[in-house]
């Protein structure tokens, strides 16, 4: 398994570029199931989850080209033939977002077999809200042998009120509703930018959607959808991670190719903690970590609140801020896996239920640490960038799921970071991610 070796102490200086949003690309790739025509998506990030989604679509019979040639970062998907509407366990177990194919498959094929995603490091990750919504739209769902089988002659419109806000639940049912008979009204929807981006693609495919990005979404079903070309929005969590990196290392970093409007909660929290952040044109932010960082409480909320996907990264920053910061995780039940590793690097953190109290500023010392999930890995990279000495981060495949070439990007702005692979290259990123450009 690949590892990162990071020597701390360098301020990050220069320009770092943000890739396309993994959490928009995944539902948008699933949306291609809804049409027999070709769907072309630009600005696709070169991350493992995208390769997994490609494998999933191909396993169902789709044709999926995925190229990262110079400035290409494009996928062309054709789901004319879907010979096997099944999301197999071997694939789903590596990426629970596979539940995003459930709604599109039932809507397009009248049948979907999706392995139950199971939990992951950060929580149980149920999909009951997806299933309840599909049942209200007329699907019958049985569960056996670890698979969910959903069938429907033709879905019909329904009035759905989500018991709690779910991002992929909103996306899954919005996709299903595009081909349902009649109108679907969904209330208590997620308002994330990735939901809006998906709605833009679906509308370009001929869907009739109103209210994406608000708590109530209305969808008028249509008979068919056609192909489209769409550019994926920038990854706001990658951008936020880089803003923290610039602040925590006392650097002067331009975060380019981002969407500042998606970063308001992150920027205001970092500014309150002493980071100097300014806009540099429509798609770039400049972050300077000049003065001392000061403690600040953060509580994760659904968008537009402070994102749970930035909680671990903020905690790393809080270890370098003067005073006590409380970090409260309201979305997932087990998203403090990074705490133990940060403590091993010298951080002072106490967890009580859903709240961690971080006392700073504590000097961090390098250590051999273990990555446990995507965003916890990012937290450990940030800590290692300021730790005294050389840290070894193991199981960086977690990082490769959602950050494109992160070590190259960070090295490009002065970080001392390198990837060491296993002797035989079996776990090497290139082997898993590089797909020949057609
Ligand atoms: C999406 O996951 C993101 N993944 C996650 O990003 C992100 O952390 C999360 O939204 C919250 O913003 C993708 O978009 C692929 P939820 P999702 O459904 O949709 C509960 C990352 O790091 N819930 O919004 O799975 C659930 O347990 C990943 O990039 C139900 O109870 O999250 C959680 O407590 C991690 N029943 C809460 O709702 C359901 O049917 C929010 O989950 C669905 C969810």
Residues 331 and 199 in one domain: no
Q: How many domains does the chain have?
A: 2
Residues 296 and 368 in one domain: yes
> Could you tell me the end-to-end alpha-carbon distance of the chain, in angstroms, rounded to an integer?
29
CATH number for position 208: 3.65.10.10
Residues 6 or more apart in contact with residue 424 via CB below 8 angstroms: none
Residue 393's alpha-carbon distances to 142, 265, 386, 413, 417, in angstroms, are 42, 29, 14, 20, 10
- pLDDT category at 434 given cuts 50, 70, 90 is very low
**pTM of this prediction exceeds 0.75:** yes
- Is 433 inside any structural domain? no
pLDDT over threshold 80, residue 437: no
Residues 6 or more apart in contact with residue 185 via CB below 8 angstroms: 157, 158, 159, 160, 216, 217, 218
Q: Which of 231, 249, 273 lies at the terminal end of a domain, its last residue? A: 231
The DSSP-derived string for 105-164 is HHHHHSEEEEE----BTTB----HHHHHHHHHTT-EEEEETTEEEEE-SS-B--EEE-SS
Query: What is the whole-number distance in angstroms between the Cα of residue 96 and the centre of ligand 1?
Result: 10
- Is 300 inside any structural domain? yes
Residues 267 and 384 in one domain: yes
Which strands, in side-by-side order, build the sheet including 13-17? Answer: 13-17, 252-256, 284-288, 276-279
What is the distance between the alpha carbons of residues 268 and 108, in angstroms, rounded to a whole number? 43
Indicate if 28 belongs to the active site: no
- Is 435 inside any structural domain? no
Residues 162 and 124 in one domain: yes
Residues 44 and 130 in one domain: yes
Question: Ligand 1 pocket: which residues have CB below 6 Å?
Answer: 23, 26, 97, 123, 125-130, 164, 166-169, 190, 308-309, 331-332, 374-375, 402
Residues 340 and 310 in one domain: yes
Average pLDDT for 396-425: 90
Residues 242 and 222 in one domain: no
Residue 51's alpha-carbon distances to 57, 224, 403, in angstroms, are 10, 28, 13
Residues 223 and 275 in one domain: no
Print the domain residue range for 13: 3-19+234-425
pLDDT over threshold 60, residue 438: no
For 213-235, what is each residue's pLDDT tens digit?
A: 999 999 999 999 999 999 999 99
Question: Could you tell which of 117, 169, 329, 334 is best to mutate to test the pocket of ligand 1, judged by most ligand atoms within 8 Å of the CB?
Answer: 169
Query: Considering only CA atoms, which of 57, 13, 64 is closest in space to residue 38?
Result: 64
- pLDDT category at 360 given cuts 50, 70, 90 is very high
Residues 362 and 404 in one domain: yes
**Closest-lying ligand 1 atom to the alpha carbon of residue 307:** 12
Contact between 46 and 404 (Cβ < 8 Å): yes
Average pLDDT for 405-433: 77
User: H/E element holding 256?
Assistant: strand 252-256
Residues 138 and 274 in one domain: no
Q: Which of 231, 262, 285 lies at the terminal end of a domain, its last residue? A: 231
- pLDDT category at 422 given cuts 50, 70, 90 is low
For 281-293, what is each residue's pLDDT tens digit?
A: 899 999 999 889 9
Contact between 125 and 118 (Cβ < 8 Å): yes
- pLDDT category at 331 given cuts 50, 70, 90 is very high
Q: Specify the 3-state DSSP secondary structure of 52.
A: helix
Q: Whose CA is nearest to atom 8 of ligand 1?
A: 309
- Is 399 inside any structural domain? yes
- Is 158 inside any structural domain? yes
Q: Which of 231, 249, 271 lies at the terminal end of a domain, its last residue? A: 231
Average pLDDT for 248-255: 98
- Out of 118-122, 215-219, 340-344, pick the least confident: 118-122
- pLDDT category at 247 given cuts 50, 70, 90 is very high
The 8-class DSSP code of residue 238 comes to H
- pLDDT category at 389 given cuts 50, 70, 90 is very high
In our burial notation (b when 16+ CB lie closer than 10 A, e otherwise), range 334-369 reads: ebbbbbebbebbbbebeeeebebbbbbbbebebbeb
Residues 281 and 317 in one domain: yes
- Is 215 inside any structural domain? yes
- Is 382 inside any structural domain? yes
Catalytic residue selected from 28, 79, 109, 120: 120
- Is 431 inside any structural domain? no
How high is the mean pLDDT of the chain? 94
**Closest-lying ligand 1 atom to the alpha carbon of residue 128:** 40
Contact between 80 and 129 (Cβ < 8 Å): no
Residues 420 and 293 in one domain: yes
Q: What percent of the chain has pLDDT over 90?
A: 88
User: H/E element holding 49?
Assistant: helix 48-59
């Amino acid at each position: 398994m690949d590892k990162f070796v990071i020597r701390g102490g360098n301020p990050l200086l220069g320009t770092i570029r943000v890739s396309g949003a993994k959490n928009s690309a995944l539902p948008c790739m699933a949306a291609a199931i809804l049409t027999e025509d070709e769907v072309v998506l630009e600005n696709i990030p070169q991350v493992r989850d995208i390769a997994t989604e490609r494998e999933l679509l191909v396993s169902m019979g789709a044709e999926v080209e995925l190229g990262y040639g110079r400035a290409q970062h494009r996928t062309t998907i054709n789901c004319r033939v879907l010979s096997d509407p099944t999301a197999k366990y071997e694939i789903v177990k590596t990426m629970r977002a596979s539940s995003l194919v459930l709604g599109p498959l039932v809507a397009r094929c009248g049948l979907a077999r999706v392995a139950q995603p199971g939990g992951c490091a950060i929580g149980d990750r149920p999909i009951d809200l997806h299933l309840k919504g599909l049942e209200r739209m007329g699907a019958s769902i049985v569960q056996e042998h670890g698979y969910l089988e959903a069938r429907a002659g033709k879905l019909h419109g329904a009035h759905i009120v989500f018991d709690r806000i779910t991002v992929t639940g909103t996306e899954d049912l919005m996709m299903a509703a595009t081909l349902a008979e009649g109108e679907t009204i969904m209330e208590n929807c997620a308002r994330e930018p990735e939901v809006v981006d998906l709605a833009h693609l679906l509308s370009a495919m001929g869907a009739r959607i109103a209210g994406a990005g608000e708590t109530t979404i209305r969808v008028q079903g249509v008979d068919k959808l056609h192909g489209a070309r769409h550019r994926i929005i920038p990854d706001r969590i990658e951008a936020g991670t880089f803003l923290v990196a610039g602040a925590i290392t006392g650097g002067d970093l331009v975060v380019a190719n981002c969407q500042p409007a998606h970063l308001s909660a992150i920027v205001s929290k970092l500014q309150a903690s002493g980071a100097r952040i300014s806009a540099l044109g429509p798609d770039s932010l400049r972050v300077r970590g000049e003065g001392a960082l000061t403690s600040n409480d953060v509580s994760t909320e659904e968008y537009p609140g402070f994102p749970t996907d930035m909680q671990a990264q903020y905690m790393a920053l809080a270890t370098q801020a003067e005073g006590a910061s409380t970090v409260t995780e309201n979305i997932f039940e087990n998203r403090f896996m990074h705490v133990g590793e940060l403590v091993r690097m010298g951080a002072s953190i106490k967890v009580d239920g859903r709240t961690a109290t971080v006392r700073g500023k504590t000097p961090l010392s390098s250590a051999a640490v273990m990555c446990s999930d995507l965003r916890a890995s990012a937290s450990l990279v940030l800590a290692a960038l300021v730790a005294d000495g050389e840290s070894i981060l193991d199981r960086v495949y977690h990082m490769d799921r959602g950050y494109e070439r992160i070590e190259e990007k960070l090295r490009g702005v002065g970080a001392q970071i390198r990837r060491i692979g296993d002797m035989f290259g079996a776990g090497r990123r290139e082997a898993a991610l590089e797909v020949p450009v057609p």
